[in-house]
Amino acid sequence: MPEFNIAKLSGNRKGIQVLKLTGPFTLMAVFDFQAVVREDLAAGVVIDLTEVPYMDSAAPGSILNLHVGCQKDGRRYALSGASDRLRTLFKVAGVENFLVICPSLVEAEARLTGNAASV
């Protein structure tokens, strides 16, 4: 089974940080994810899910915790590149309407910087 990894990258727009997740996002990875999102992140954070093949039932809860933490701290976030499989999981888990989900990294960054019309 592939390993779960989190890469902290600079975004293509000022003030945006990208957390690129790769591998299966399961209970074993939730604690690593939570530790990274509790660190001092940029005001705008994009969680790139393009290379996440699947999640178990614990992962949407950790993403929802990110949502709540960003609201509390006045930060913005977006998820990008979620496959149909992941979007179905968000829907089944009942969190799809709470999360900021964008089809691509470019669109997520634009949304966070308020330049969605220029994409």
Per-residue pLDDT, averaged over 68-94, amounts to 93
- pLDDT tens by residue, 92-117: 988 999 899 999 999 999 999 886 54
What is the reported pLDDT for 106? 94
User: How far is it, in rounded angstroms, from Cα 117 to Cα 50?
Assistant: 23
Q: Does residue 118 have a pLDDT over 50?
A: no
Exposure b/e, 33-45, CB count within 10 A at least 16 = b = beebbeeebbebb
What is the reported pLDDT for 84? 95
Q: Give the dihedral of Cα atoms 93, 78, 110, 21; nearest 10 deg.
A: -110
Q: Does residue 69 have a pLDDT over 70?
A: yes
Average pLDDT, the chain: 90
What is the reported pLDDT for 52? 97
Q: Does residue 42 have a pLDDT over 90?
A: no
